[in-house]
Amino acid sequence: MKVNMENLKNILSNKLNFLMILVAGIFCFQVFSLFSKGEETQKVDYIKKEIILLKDEIKAIYESEKALDKKIDTFNTRIQRIHEVVKINNVKIENLKKYEKNQIDKFKSYDARMWEKYFAERYANKASSRTNTAK
SS3 call for 20: helix
pTM of this structure: 0.44
CB 118 within 8 A of CB 110: yes
| Burial of residue 2 (number of CB atoms within 10 Å: 0-12, 13-18, 19+) | exposed
Measured at the CA of 15, the angle between CA 9 and CA 18, to 5 degrees, comes to 140
Question: For residue 110, how far is the Cα from the chain centroid?
Answer: 65
How far is it between the farthest Cα atoms of the chain?
A: 164
Q: From first to last of its 135 residues, what are the pLDDT tens digits of the chain?
A: 455 656 656 666 777 777 778 888 888 887 777 666 666 677 778 888 999 999 999 999 989 899 999 999 999 999 999 999 999 999 999 999 999 999 888 877 778 788 888 888 888 877 776 666 655
Strand ranges (E), 28-111: none
